[in-house]
Amino acid sequence: MKAIVWTKYGSPDSLQLREIAKPTPKDNEILIKVHAATASTPDTEFRRLKLPLVFLILLRLYFGIRKPTRITILGMEFAGEIESVGKDVTRYKPGDQVFGYTGLNMGTYAEYMCLPENPSGMAGVLAKKPVNMPYEEAAAVPFGGLEALHALSKANIQRGQKVLIVGAGGSIGTYAVQLAKHYGAEVTGVDHTSKLDVLRSISADHVIDYTQEDFTKNGKTYDVILDTIGKSPFAGSLRSLNENGTYLNPNPGPLDGVQRRGTSERSNKRLLPWTAGYTTNNLLALKELIEAGKIKPVIDRRYPLEQIAEAHRYVDAGHKKGNVVIEIQ
Ligand SMILES: NC(=O)c1ccc[n+]([C@@H]2O[C@H](COP(=O)([O-])OP(=O)(O)OC[C@H]3O[C@@H](n4cnc5c(N)ncnc54)[C@H](OP(=O)(O)O)[C@@H]3O)[C@@H](O)[C@H]2O)c1
């Protein structure tokens, strides 16, 4: 089968098209013919392995010290059709159309891959794909959709609340805008000039261009601030929060933790860390919302598998609006 093999840490040229053996499912696994994947920002971060030192050490131990050896195929999101199942599999059958996320097991940049029928947590998640959505769109749902759904469910948004989303034009952000609107919030999206039209197209009520305006200094306040990328200034974001408001930050630093304790002692503002939410129930909740026409993926560009390096270069350059899809014939 055709696959894109990740040959070293670094530039997109490390992703090389090769013929490799087609996998065989174990007794508890399903074999999926992958029809579509994505070039996501986390995929490009893993490829480069330019991450904070502590992650870098752990990930090199996991992927391979000098070059990727244990995990050699990138790609975490997919949509495809089940070709065969192991003898212990009960929930799926050949012909089922599925979508999901493989997490740190990766492997979606290939014509076929195997997954346990019940993957969980960062080892992946799987469900039947929305019936009204082609593979090329369904593949762009799991990462951004699950992260946004999980974050906003922690915030417990009430109708009429003011919600601000930082990084609103990205994979997580475009779902967060749509979900917050679905929950009845008044939504402000913050992103680069080039992403503002996309935010308007998914019904953001207000947009802020972060290259022109600092949302922490414009005097406006919000009930919920969701930072999808961990770039908002901590103290300024708390200042921009109403009393009883919630600030969701994906990975608060150690000093933020100290400030957080001080904050909750002095006021009713909450700081919540939020990544994850990779459960079958959450993926099924997204499927229902898609089938009801409430949310949809924002797709920027599509590339064939053979042009994966070009797709990664586009994402590396920071141009991506929503999602970039990889089509696998
Ligand atoms: N499972 C995982 O691996 C996992 C889980 C949770 C979170 N994450 C993290 O989540 C992030 C990816 O999220 P994503 O895929 O939604 O990102 P994305 O698609 O790359 O979108 C991020 C958006 O934020 C914008 N942005 C950059 N600086 C900004 C600022 N100061 N203010 C407002 N917007 C700004 C970017 O615009 P410009 O680039 O044009 O400036 C871009 O539109 C990664 O950093 C990843 O490590 C990963």
Domain map (residue ranges) of the chain? 2-140+297-327, 143-272
Give the pLDDT score at 53.
86
What does the alpha-carbon distance between residue 155 and residue 327 come to, in Å, rounded to a whole number?
35
Contact yes or no for 276/150 (Cβ under 8 A): yes
- The confidence score (pLDDT) of residue 110 equals 98
Q: What per-residue confidence (pLDDT) applies to 261?
A: 60
Specify the pLDDT at position 256. 65
Average pLDDT for the chain: 93
**Residue 77, φ and ψ in degrees, nearest 5:** -105, 150
Among 149, 163, 181, CA closest to 276 = 149
CATH number of 143-272: 3.40.50.720
Per CATH, the homologous superfamily of domain 2-140+297-327 is Medium-chain alcohol dehydrogenases, catalytic domain (3.90.180.10)
Q: Which atom of ligand 1 is nearest to the CA of 322?
A: 19
Q: Residue 89 corresponds to which amino acid?
A: V
Q: Cβ(322)–Cβ(140) under 8 Å?
A: yes
pLDDT for residue 259: 63
As a whole number of angstroms, the distance between CA 303 and CA 324 comes to 8
Q: Which of 191, 195, 325 to mutate to test the pocket of ligand 1 (most atoms within 8 A of CB)?
A: 191
- Per-residue pLDDT at 47: 97
pTM above 0.75, yes or no: yes
**Token pair 């770039």: residue:** 231
- Pocket test of ligand 1: the residue of 188, 207, 229 to mutate, having most ligand atoms within 8 Å of its CB, is 229
pLDDT of residue 50: 83
Which residues of the chain, if any, have pLDDT below 50? none
Instruction: Give the ligand 1 atom nearest the CA of 321.
Output: 43
Instruction: Check residue 298 and give its pLDDT.
Output: 98
275 SS3 class: coil
